[in-house]
């Protein structure tokens, strides 16, 4: 009965049962995940479980308690459960664009809203979908996802796919995903992800302070920001290129030239400012296309605006969330204008 209800809920959440096989795999995957859950406290207390796992989970629960008590994030069973899923990723997302466009192929669902990907619980199914899209001449990218939020519809577990992370990264993801449960605006990915990213970053700063730790190293954050800016600059140039009335062959060559420029500028940045740190080499050396650029900018576009809003509210989380809810309730054009004003210092 519960499984049938899940299948029905998946159709409601994700937009109707027009693609039975796709929605069936969503319902089946979520059902298996629910079935694999067990209380974290039970795992920690079980001497037959790996000691490293038990210690890691014990530390995660300190961050989980901090999230509700200090950050005023939802106080529920999410991330107080554990699920061993037996694979490196919980889902694989398939991103797609036209050959000469950076606009994603969106998929719109009644509750979750529009997103720039389709998720698959099987890597094989994701690859099959990607192959079909490539046959249609689309640019396609597959990204493995180690965690996701059901926005409070279910109690989300800590998954075995998350156990490769260090203690601090696991804490930041808990803060991020609980922020999605705290507030979510349909059809505005940039708003939702920037909000959750700010909560993650400020929450992590406060979490470190609470444990008597100093600020995190700025070098890795600076490298991440510089790398992201390289990608965003490439996207801007490609958008200008795709707006030109060029023949397909000329457009294709110019597109390839832009991706080669991205690699060249990355190597120059790495060698001149990062002392040769190769942390992004694997990503930059893979085959490049429009779809691979889609996630960049979504997670941090409005972070400065939310930081300014947090300061305006005196660092009070409850007042901050109330102000965020007011922003989220504005029409899209007004919301973006308000965010621009905040990011620009217009408090």
Domain-embedded: residue 190: yes
In a domain, 272, yes or no: no
Report yes or no on 129 lying in a domain. Answer: no
Domain-ending residue, one of 210, 226, 251: 210
Among residues 210, 226, 261, the one where a domain terminates is 210
Which pTM does this prediction carry? 0.84
Q: Say what the pLDDT of residue 5 is.
A: 35
Report yes or no on 74 lying in a domain: yes
Helical pair 332-343 and 303-312, crossing angle rounded to 10 deg:
70
Residue 9 lies in a domain: yes
pLDDT of residue 124: 95
Q: Are 194 and 313 part of one and the same domain?
A: no
Which residues, other chains included, contact 110 with Cβ-Cβ below 8 Å and sequence gap of 6+? 12, 13, 14, 15
pLDDT of residue 131: 97
Sorted by sequence, the CB contacts under 8 Å of residue 300 that are 6+ apart come out as 193, 194, 197, 228
Among the candidates 210, 233, 248, a domain finishes at 210
- Which residues form the domain of 199? 2-90+146-210
Q: At what angle do helices 332-343 and 317-328 cross, to 10 degrees?
A: 140
Per-residue pLDDT, 89: 95
Mark whether 181 and 310 lie in a shared domain: no
Please give the pLDDT value at position 212.
Answer: 92
Give the per-residue pLDDT at 219. 82
Domain count of the fold of the chain: 2
Q: 101 near 290, Cβ under 8 Å?
A: yes
Determine, yes or no, domain membership for 34: yes
pLDDT 10s digit of each residue in the chain, 347 long? 333 334 334 443 444 334 778 888 888 999 999 999 999 999 999 999 999 999 999 999 999 999 999 999 999 999 999 999 999 999 999 999 999 999 998 887 655 677 788 999 999 999 999 999 999 999 999 999 988 888 888 999 999 999 988 999 999 999 999 999 999 998 888 899 999 999 999 999 999 999 998 887 778 889 988 999 999 999 999 999 999 999 999 999 999 999 999 999 999 999 999 999 999 999 999 999 999 999 887 777 899 999 999 999 999 999 999 999 999 999 999 999 999 999 987 55
- Residue the block writes with tokens 């947090």: 310
Residue 269 near residue 222 (C-beta atoms within 8 A): no
What pLDDT was estimated at residue 110? 59
Give the pLDDT score at 283.
Answer: 96
Residue 141 placed within a domain? no
Same domain, 205 and 81: yes
The answer as to whether 286 is a domain residue is no
């Amino acid at each position: 009965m519960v499984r049938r209800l899940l299948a029905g809920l998946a159709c409601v959440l994700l937009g109707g049962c027009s693609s039975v096989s796709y929605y069936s795999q969503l319902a089946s995957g979520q059902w298996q995940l629910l079935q694999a859950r067990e209380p974290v406290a039970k795992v920690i207390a079980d001497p037959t479980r790996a000691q490293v796992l038990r210690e890691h989970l014990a530390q995660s629960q300190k961050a989980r308690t901090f999230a509700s008590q200090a950050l005023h994030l939802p106080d529920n069973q999410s991330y107080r459960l554990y699920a061993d899923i037996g694979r490196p990723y919980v889902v694989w997302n398939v991103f797609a664009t036209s050959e000469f466009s950076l606009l994603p192929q969106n998929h719109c669902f009644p509750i979750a809203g529009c997103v720039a990907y389709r998720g698959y619980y099987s890597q094989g199914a994701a690859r099959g979908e990607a192959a079909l899209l490539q046959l249609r001449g689309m640019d396609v990218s597959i990204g493995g996802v180690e965690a996701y939020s059901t926005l409070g519809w279910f109690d989300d577990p800590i998954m075995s796919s998350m156990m490769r992370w260090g203690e601090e990264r696991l804490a930041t993801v808990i803060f991020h995903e609980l922020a999605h449960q705290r507030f979510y605006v349909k059809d505005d990915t940039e708003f939702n992800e920037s909000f959750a990213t700010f909560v993650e970053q400020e929450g992590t700063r406060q979490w470190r302070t609470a444990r008597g730790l100093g600020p995190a190293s700025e070098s890795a954050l600076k490298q991440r920001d510089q790398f992201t800016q390289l990608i965003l600059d490439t996207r801007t140039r490609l958008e200008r290129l795709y707006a030109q009335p060029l023949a397909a062959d000329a457009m294709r060559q110019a597109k390839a030239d832009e991706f080669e420029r991205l690699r060249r500028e990355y190597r120059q940045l790495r060698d001149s400012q990062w002392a040769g740190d190769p942390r992004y080499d694997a990503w930059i050396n893979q085959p490049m296309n429009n779809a691979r650029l889609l996630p960049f900018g979504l997670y941090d576009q409005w972070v400065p605006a939310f930081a300014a809003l947090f300061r305006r509210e005196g660092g009070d989380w409850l007042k901050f969330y109330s102000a965020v809810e007011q922003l989220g309730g504005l029409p899209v054009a007004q919301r973006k204008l308000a965010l621009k004003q905040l990011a620009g210092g217009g408090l």
